[in-house]
């Protein structure tokens, strides 16, 4: 269970916006350049993020895109849910089996159950502010 390229791009775009949260709107071309996302693809992603109210568009001179909430208030899970959804992460068998549960486990069920719980806990607690700090520390 990995994130789609759309979701990866959305996370990178939102981290870019989080970095500029205190400085105002960011132009699409600046986000595209900074996050290394093709501009037409980014425009569609930003439209989707606007629709789910994670970002908003500011019109006119000095316009662009801004986060709709502070970076501390947006978790990775909220972004992933908006783009990819989290149902598969919460429910799917790691081996892709239709029948896999505590009562009828696949060979990796117990391992995946633990890993899935850690993954969900992580994305539900890590915020865009956390991701921004990590990106700055790593030089990104």
Residue 138 is given by DSSP the state T
> Three-state SS string across 52-104, please?
CCCEEEECCCCCEEEECCCHHHCEHHHHHHHHCCCHHHHHCCCCCCCCCCCCC
What's the CATH fold of domain 5-137? Arc Repressor Mutant, subunit A (1.10.10)
Dist CA 66 CA 64 (whole Å): 7
Q: Which pLDDT belongs to residue 138?
A: 75
Q: Are 131 and 122 in contact (CB under 8 A)?
A: no
Dist CA 73 CA 60 (whole Å): 27
Residue 139 is given by DSSP the state T
pLDDT in tens, the chain (140 residues): 579 999 999 999 999 999 999 999 999 999 999 999 999 999 999 999 999 999 999 998 888 999 999 999 999 999 999 999 998 888 889 998 998 999 999 999 999 999 999 999 999 999 999 999 887 777 76
Identify the bridge partners of residue 66 per DSSP, sorted by sequence position: 56
Dist CA 18 CA 22 (whole Å): 8
Angular region, 33: left φ>0, alpha ψ -120 to 50, beta rest: alpha
Q: Which pLDDT belongs to residue 91?
A: 87
Q: Which pLDDT belongs to residue 140?
A: 64
- Structural domain boundaries in the chain: 5-137
């Amino acid at each position: 269970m990995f994130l789609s390229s759309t979701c990866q791009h959305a996370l990178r775009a939102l981290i870019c916006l989080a970095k500029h949260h205190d400085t105002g709107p960011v132009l699409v071309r600046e986000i595209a350049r900074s996050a290394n996302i093709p501009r037409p693809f980014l425009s569609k992603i930003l439209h989707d993020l606007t629709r789910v109210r994670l970002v908003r568009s500011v019109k006119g001179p000095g316009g662009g895109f801004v986060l709709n909430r502070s970076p501390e208030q947006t978790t990775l899970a909220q972004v992933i849910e908006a783009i990819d959804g989290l149902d598969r992460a919460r429910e799917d068998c790691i081996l892709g089996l239709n029948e896999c549960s505590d009562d009828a486990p696949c060979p990796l069920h117990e391992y995946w159950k633990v890993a899935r719980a850690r993954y969900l806990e992580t994305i539900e607690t890590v915020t865009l502010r956390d991701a921004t700090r990590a990106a700055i520390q790593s030089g990104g």
